[in-house]
């Protein structure tokens, strides 16, 4: 296993090689030539072709808060709207220096337009992408100032998305508080989430990739009202590095996921909870497109009810939350969507949505209920394939892990004890793979790799089924 050296900023998606050359020049030999579509095992596991006969997500916009989205990537042409740039970097929200945001957008909305053989497809190719670009940290990220800067930019991004036409907000990144401070998971961040939910939005965020190291608690995934998404592999088993805890609400594929990127052959792949969050967002877009009269609460409730393991009622654990997301089952047998105005995750509260003395509060707009929500009965389904194993893909991967821990300050279901350790920067992860053409040296910014020895946490096996 390889990891990157610690960078000022990283994202929750470790890009690696499907077939070809890794970032550090380590080659893997293909067994046989496969098309990009064949490498996108998650689309087969989630029965994308079957779902696309019913819905492609048309009419839904997904805000991607990330490193930017390159609208000129062939598989995303015509899919990317004008958004907002809070990065301070050269260019605008369509300039993606890291390549990560483009990858996440492609997992949601890519059309395969590049070519029938070598184009990449998103799970919800009828959706549009609203890019909202976040800044990189500039070093010294363990300081109070840098953590606060990340949080302030994230707050602006969430509020911008809340005021936009987007219904779904995807955040495939995260950061932790500076030791002894509450400069990332702030009351203002919770207030921004509250504002977005009050505007009818649904927010998904990656829980992070240090589950086999320090299991850092990161924001916004740990912010009340955000759906924290963990990662699973081709057999619906938890990723070794996927973080766990009360902040995990759902899980989605995150192993050896192939999509588009800005450089070279414009095809990349990798492993991480970033991809899981993007696929959860795409799943919500598919369901919402099919049921445009539903509220954010109803869409989320049905995704929870139809997740693996909930055929006889809701159950959760700290590894996969309420289960592995199964949009096909949600579309086929949604069951009762339940109350329109009740947030479905038990224990949610707006207690932390009070401004701190360091910054005036912005108007928060209408809010969801702060009462203990009710949960509708789980939908039953008789789909015999719903509990089968996912299709294995045999794609090589190099996993980039972030090593840090946080001071978790959570409420109700997210209450954890505090600890003191280095802070986690926003997760901008490592980058390219080139497939299936001749290798092209990746143009990254200071990314290196070194061997890493990890401590392995024992996760209980989850009998999640095919979505």
Q: Is 274 a catalytic residue?
A: yes
Residue 422's CB: how many other CB atoms inside 10 A?
A: 17
Among residues 164, 274, 289, 364, the one annotated as catalytic is 274
Q: Under a CB-based contact definition with an 8 Å cutoff, are residues 211 and 242 in contact? A: yes
Among residues 12, 16, 66, 164, the one annotated as catalytic is 66
Q: Is 344 helix (H, G, I), strand (E, B) or coil?
A: coil
Q: Under a CB-based contact definition with an 8 Å cutoff, are residues 307 and 250 in contact? A: yes
Q: Is 66 a catalytic residue?
A: yes
Residue 180's CB: how many other CB atoms inside 10 A?
A: 11
Among residues 12, 42, 47, 100, the one annotated as catalytic is 100
Structure tokens at 349: 């509260």
Q: Is 120 helix (H, G, I), strand (E, B) or coil?
A: coil
Structure tokens at 300: 């989320």
Listed residue (448, 397, 436, 451) closest to 24, CA to CA: 448
Cα angle at 274 between 56 and 225, to 5 degrees?
Answer: 85
- Annotate 5-43 with DSSP letters as a single string: PP-S-B-S-EEE-SSEE-TTS-EE--SS---HHHH-HHH
Listed residue (204, 279, 216, 274) closest to 243, CA to CA: 216
Q: Under a CB-based contact definition with an 8 Å cutoff, are residues 328 and 51 in contact? A: yes
In 291-387, where does DSSP find H-type helix? Answer: 296-305, 327-332
DSSP state, residue 130: E
Q: Is 96 a catalytic residue?
A: no
Listed residue (160, 395, 195) closest to 275, CA to CA: 395
Q: Under a CB-based contact definition with an 8 Å cutoff, are residues 404 and 427 in contact? A: no
Q: Which residues are catalytic?
A: 66, 100, 274
């Amino acid at each position: 296993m390889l990891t990157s050296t610690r960078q000022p900023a990283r994202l929750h998606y470790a890009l690696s090689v499907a077939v070809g050359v890794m970032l550090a020049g380590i080659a893997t030999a293909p067994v046989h030539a496969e098309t990009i579509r064949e490498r996108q095992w998650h689309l087969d596991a989630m029965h994308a072709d079957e779902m696309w006969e019913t819905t492609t997500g048309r009419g839904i916009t997904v805000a991607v808060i990330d490193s930017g989205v390159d609208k000129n990537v062939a598989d995303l042409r015509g899919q990317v709207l004008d958004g907002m740039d809070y990065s301070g970097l050269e260019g605008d929200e369509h300039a993606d220096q890291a390549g990560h945001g483009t990858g996440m957008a492609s997992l949601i909305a890519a059309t395969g337009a590049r070519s029938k053989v070598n184009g990449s497809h998103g799970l919800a190719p009828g959706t549009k992408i609203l890019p909202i670009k976040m800044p990189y940290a500039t070093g010294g990220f363990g300081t109070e100032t840098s953590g606060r800067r990340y949080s302030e930019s994230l707050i602006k991004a969430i509020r911008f998305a809340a005021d936009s036409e987007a219904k779904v907000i995807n955040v495939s990144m995260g950061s932790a508080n500076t030791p002894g401070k509450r400069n990332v998971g702030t009351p203002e961040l919770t207030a921004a989430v509250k504002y977005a939910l009050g505007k009818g939005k649904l927010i998904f965020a990656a829980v992070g990739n240090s589950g086999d190291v320090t299991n850092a608690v990161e924001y916004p995934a740990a912010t009340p009202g955000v759906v924290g998404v963990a990662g699973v592999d081709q057999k619906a088993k938890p990723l070794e590095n996927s973080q766990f805890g009360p902040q995990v609400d759902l899980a989605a594929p995150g192993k050896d996921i192939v999509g588009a990127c800005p450089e070279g052959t414009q095809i990349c792949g990798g492993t991480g909870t970033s991809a899981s969050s993007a696929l959860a967002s795409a799943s919500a877009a598919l369901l919402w497109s099919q049921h445009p009269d539903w509220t954010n609460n109803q869409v989320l409730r049905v995704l929870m009810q139809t997740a693996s393991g909930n055929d006889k009622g809701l159950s959760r654990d700290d590894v996969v939350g309420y289960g592995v997301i199964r949009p096909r089952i949600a579309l086929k047998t949604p069951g009762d969507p339940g109350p329109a105005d009740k947030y479905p995750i038990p224990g949610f509260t707006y207690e932390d949505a009070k401004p701190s003395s360091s910054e005036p509060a912005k108007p928060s707009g209408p809010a969801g209920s702060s009462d203990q929500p009710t949960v509708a009965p789980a939908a039953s389904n008789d789909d015999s394939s719903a509990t089968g194993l996912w299709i294995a893909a045999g794609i090589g991967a190099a996993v980039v892990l972030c090593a840090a821990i946080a001071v978790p300050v959570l409420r109700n279901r997210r209450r954890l004890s505090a600890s003191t350790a280095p802070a986690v920067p926003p997760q901008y992860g490592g980058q390219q793979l080139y497939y299936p053409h001749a290798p092209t040296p990746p143009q990254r910014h200071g990314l290196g790799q070194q061997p890493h020895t990890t401590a392995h946490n024992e996760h209980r096996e989850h009998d999640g089924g095919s979505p």
